[in-house]
Amino acid sequence: MENILEIKNLCKKYDNFELKNISFTLPKGMIMGFIGENGAGKTTTIKAILDIIKSYRGEIKIFGLDNRKDERKIKEDIGIVLDDMFFPEILTPNDINNTMKGIYKNWDTKMFYDYLKEFSLLPNKQIKTFSKGMRKKLEIITALSHHPKLLILDEPTSGLDPVARAEIIKIFQNFIEKDDCSILLSSHITTDLEHIADYITFINNGEIVLSKTTNELLVKYGIVKCTEKEFKGIDKKDYIKYKKTKYEYEVLVPNKKEFRTKYNISIIDKITLDDLMVLMIKGEK
């Protein structure tokens, strides 16, 4: 399968934080959910991909091209929404259209105005009159309206109500269904990712903890709930992390079926991405 994004051994060091050998790939035509706590390194990684931050080590290829050497060739085909991105408040959507059609050769004015109508955003109103959610919708609309092949999104549904989030997610799904486009989507709203992401990449404290298909995580992984006596009988190689609660042990296992065959423990719950994050970050080995 062709990869639209490849990251190999990305390293970036700050005074109090470090990205350590970040490596993962995003196949063409897929959505990857990028998850982790605040400060885990998601935004730093995204800004390195976009060559916004400099002086990092490692290799980043987009569409098979070096993101630093071939920046001009690449940027036309990337749509971007960053968490700290903003348009000047005095502008209107009309102003944004006039600006963007002079920047992107593939800018689609009709698509832009169709999206404005769909999301009830008035083209002649200044952005300062928009709510946070309306501004986020405008950013997403702008990112989509030059027909990118790759969307890179940092908290794109932040500040949106459930109805608006559902509308945006539907747009993302339609986006990847045509022309084998791909999305790298960083989000704290993991329930959204469970429904739309093909892959999940989990970063913690500047390191990639795992990068797997969503199906493997949600179908194969599980949480075993057992007594202390039962827990002591589990081989360490058969679980990833565990957490002791007041009444029982919660144990993260990578294969529910194999675990159930080997151990006589009946309670194995399905896992959510929130469960996964909590156990991977707070659990013990």
User: Could you report the per-residue pLDDT of 28-64, keeping only the tens digit for each?
Assistant: 999 999 999 988 999 999 999 999 988 899 999 999 9
Q: Are 115 and 146 found together in one domain? A: yes
Q: How far, in Å, CA of 265 to CA of 251, rounded?
A: 11
Q: Are 206 and 239 found together in one domain? A: no
Q: How far, in Å, CA of 242 to CA of 282, rounded?
A: 9
Q: Are 108 and 15 found together in one domain? A: yes
Q: Are 191 and 208 found together in one domain? A: yes
- 53: containing domain: 3-216
Q: Answer with the one of 216, 245, 269 that is the final residue of a domain.
A: 216
pLDDT, tens digit only, all 285 positions of the chain? 789 999 999 999 998 999 999 999 999 999 999 999 988 999 999 999 999 988 899 999 999 999 988 888 898 999 999 877 778 999 999 999 999 999 999 999 999 999 999 999 999 999 999 988 888 889 999 999 999 999 999 988 877 888 888 888 888 888 888 767 999 999 988 988 998 999 999 999 999 999 999 999 999 999 999 999 999 999 999 999 999 998 899 999 999 999 999 998 888 999 999 999 999 999 998
Q: Which residues, at least 6 apart from 163, have a Cβ–Cβ distance to it below 8 Å?
A: none
Q: Are 210 and 226 found together in one domain? A: no
Residue 233 confidence (pLDDT): 95
Q: Are 128 and 186 found together in one domain? A: yes
Q: Are 212 and 226 found together in one domain? A: no
Q: What is the CATH number of the domain that holds 29?
A: 3.40.50.300
Alpha-helix runs per DSSP H in the chain: 42-49, 71-75, 93-100, 109-118, 132-144, 162-177, 190-196, 214-215, 228-232, 256-262, 273-282
Q: Answer with the one of 216, 235, 264 that is the final residue of a domain.
A: 216
Q: Please report where in the chains the tokens 């999301």 appear, as a residue.
A: 119
Residue 148 confidence (pLDDT): 95
Q: Please report where in the chains the tokens 């959507």 appear, as a residue.
A: 93
Q: Which of 166, 207, 251, 245 is nearest to 37 (CA)?
A: 207
Q: Answer with the one of 216, 232, 254 that is the final residue of a domain.
A: 216
Tokens at residue 81, please? 């929404």
Q: Are 85 and 190 found together in one domain? A: yes
* Dihedral, 168, 43, 86, 179 alpha carbons, nearest 10: -40
Contact 257, 222 (CB under 8 A): no
Per residue in 164-194, is it b (16+ CB within 10 Å) or e — as a string? bbebbbeebeebbeeeebbbbbbbbbbebbb
pTM: 0.92
Q: Are 175 and 75 found together in one domain? A: yes
Q: Are 124 and 264 found together in one domain? A: no
Number of domains, the chain: 2
Tokens at residue 105, please? 């050769």
Q: Are 197 and 135 found together in one domain? A: yes
Q: Are 104 and 171 found together in one domain? A: yes
Query: Would you give the distance in Å from CA 31 to the centre of its chain?
Result: 8
Return the number of other C-beta atoms located less than 10 Å from residue 33's C-beta: 24
